[in-house]
Amino acid sequence: MSVSAAAPSGPRSYQVRTWMAAAIAGMGGLLFGYDTGMISGAQLFIEQDFDVSAGGIGLVVSAVTAGALVGALLSSGLTARWSRRAVIALSAVVFIVGAVAAAAAPSVAVLVAARFVIGLGIGFASTVVPLYIAELVPVASRGSMVALFQLAITLGILVAYLVNAAYADDGEWRAVFALACAPATVLLLGMLVLPESPRWLFAAGREDEARRVLETLRDPDDPQTARELEEIRATVEADRARPRESLARALTSPLARMILVVGIGLGVFQQITGINTIIYYAPTILGKAGLGTESSVMATAGIGGLNFVATIVALAVVDRINRRTMLIGGMAGMALSMAVLAVTFAVDDFDGPLRWVAVGSLLAFIACFAVSWGWGFWVMASEIYPLFIRGQAVSIGNAVQWTANFAVSLLFPILLAAWGGAVLFSVLAGFGVLALVFTYRLVPETRGLTLEEIEREWRRRAGVADDAAAAPAA
């Protein structure tokens, strides 16, 4: 293709192409959200069909997070060998297999196994999709493009809440599972036609292809395109020039350790500050706050809707406001909302207006989360890791995040019964305060920096020379 072919309507068509790619890859997020949201309703009917114990239902619910944790860990090995696109395509196939098996499950044991397989697919997708998008898009819109992944998660949750409501009368839980095959198929077909990550191609020694891909996604007339290609080349070459060291050694170097602490901290704090106590258990919390079943279901749908709408707002501003400002401001609101919720449970007089204060604090928490840590974790996870550890580090960070998700979703009902809402929500608010300190002290600003500039900033902080490898552990 000649360079002049790009002008003058060119830049827009490059943008459209990049957005399309990000949107299709974002289907991975939709699947993730759908499976997070659907089980809250489906479990009621599964219970009736199989006459299963509470423990059995707990397994059906949490098998997805366990699978996702294993999937996130396995993606480390996969991304080291396979291209980003291949791993995403695999996640779609695994997902379809799991969804079909779940829809046809003759017993609870098969259902739990199928949910675990679905989780594997989600673990692969949640690790590699944000990575792929970040490596594909121009730096100026990287935040909003990766935040698309979060938008897709929230859309998936909302769709699941609505599908649950639609099927509530006839208890058709098998159809609710089977429906998830549609976005998985779009994701699979998308991966057959979308371009490979140019950064991955470059690192794999396929430089001509990398250049060709970049030139279909960027305006060749824009000087920034040549600069981006040079930056990628410089990083890959510096990486190649480093003495080879084992993965374990690379990951335990002081530089990698410093970055992993931040990446893991972001994932853990995203989870232990309480988001999924609301996403999975909103009807339970609302029931305890005195709402009837119907009002609880309505309020839960409202929570899903607000989560989605607030994420759209976030998407509009994510590349205009510093990441740190949003993370700190959002977490302050989240911790405050949890503290207010704790107070309502301490007063424990839900006959009057206090119940609406409780509902309001849940909604406030969701809105604050959606504009900050919802997209924040995924965006930061896709951009803070240097190329030499990116695939492995994202996978470790995500696995720990899924572990935290698993622990919270498993422990919440137990601790709510044992401690009561006042204590439990105070603890979650306390984690919010810790998250504030952590973000203020350790999380760097990444907005507007290329992935290569971010790597240089880490090296500066760690006192490691630019061209040196992650210095071997002392």
Place of tokens 């639609």: 166
Instruction: Name the residue number minimizing CB distance to ligand BGC.
Output: 279
CB atoms within 10 A of CB 419: 13
Q: With binding defined as CB under 6 A, does residue 127 bind ligand BGC?
A: no
CB nearer ligand BGC, residue 388 or residue 431: 431
Q: What CA–CA distance (Å, rounded) separates 209 from 81?
A: 18
Q: With binding defined as CB under 6 A, does residue 68 bind ligand BGC?
A: no
Q: With binding defined as CB under 6 A, does residue 405 bind ligand BGC?
A: yes
Q: With binding defined as CB under 6 A, does residue 372 bind ligand BGC?
A: no
Residues in the chain: 474
The region of 187-195, 210-218, 242-250, 269-277 touching ligand BGC under the rule CB under 6 A is: 269-277
Q: How far is the CB of 373 from ligand BGC (least distance, A)?
A: 7
CB nearer ligand BGC, residue 73 or residue 275: 275
DSSP reduced 3-state for 33: helix
CB nearer ligand BGC, residue 236 or residue 275: 275
DSSP conformation letters of 104-139: T-SSHHHHHHHHHHHHHHHHHHHHHHHHHHHHHS-G
Closest CA to 60 of 173, 189, 224: 173
**Cβ(315)–Cβ(147) under 8 Å?**
yes
Q: What is the identity of the amino acid at 8?
A: P
Q: With binding defined as CB under 6 A, does residue 273 bind ligand BGC?
A: no
Q: How far is the CB of 374 from ligand BGC (least distance, A)?
A: 5
Q: How far is the CB of 206 from ligand BGC (least distance, A)?
A: 33
Question: How many Cα neighbours within 13 Å face the side chain of 413?
Answer: 14
Treating both helix axes as pointing N-terminal to C-terminal, what angle do 373-383 and 254-272 enclose, rounded to 10 degrees? 160
Q: With binding defined as CB under 6 A, does residue 275 bind ligand BGC?
A: yes
**Cβ(145)–Cβ(25) under 8 Å?**
no
Q: How far is the CB of 95 from ligand BGC (least distance, A)?
A: 17
Q: Which of residues 191-230 bind ligand BGC (CB under 6 A)?
A: none
CB nearer ligand BGC, residue 308 or residue 438: 308
Q: How far is the CB of 195 from ligand BGC (least distance, A)?
A: 26
Closest CA to 112 of 163, 154, 50: 50
CB nearer ligand BGC, residue 220 or residue 374: 374
Q: What CA–CA distance (Å, rounded) separates 340 from 333?
A: 11
CB nearer ligand BGC, residue 190 or residue 374: 374
Among 79, 154, 164, 344, binds ligand BGC (CB under 6 A): 154
Q: What CA–CA distance (Å, rounded) separates 399 from 134?
A: 19
**Cβ(65)–Cβ(55) under 8 Å?**
no
Q: How far is the CB of 405 from ligand BGC (least distance, A)?
A: 5
CB nearer ligand BGC, residue 203 or residue 394: 394
Q: How far is the CB of 267 from ligand BGC (least distance, A)?
A: 8
CB nearer ligand BGC, residue 275 or residue 454: 275
Closest CA to 141 of 322, 15, 232, 248: 15
Q: With binding defined as CB under 6 A, does residue 150 bind ligand BGC?
A: yes
Letters for 322-351 (x = contact with ligand BGC by CB under 6 A, - = none) are ------------------------------
Q: With binding defined as CB under 6 A, does residue 374 bind ligand BGC?
A: yes
C-alpha distances out from residue 66 to 43, 250, 321, 407, Å: 17, 27, 35, 10
Among 76, 83, 197, 276, binds ligand BGC (CB under 6 A): 276
Q: With binding defined as CB under 6 A, does residue 153 bind ligand BGC?
A: yes
Give me the long-range contacts of 44-51 (CB less than 8 A, separation at least 24): 44/171, 45/171, 45/172, 45/173, 46/108, 46/111, 46/173, 48/171, 49/171, 49/173, 50/107, 50/108, 50/111
Q: With binding defined as CB under 6 A, does residue 307 bind ligand BGC?
A: yes
Q: With binding defined as CB under 6 A, does residue 279 bind ligand BGC?
A: yes
Q: Which of residues 28-57 bind ligand BGC (CB under 6 A)?
A: 36
Contact set with ligand BGC (CB under 6 A)? 36, 150, 153-154, 157, 270, 275-276, 279, 307, 374, 377, 405
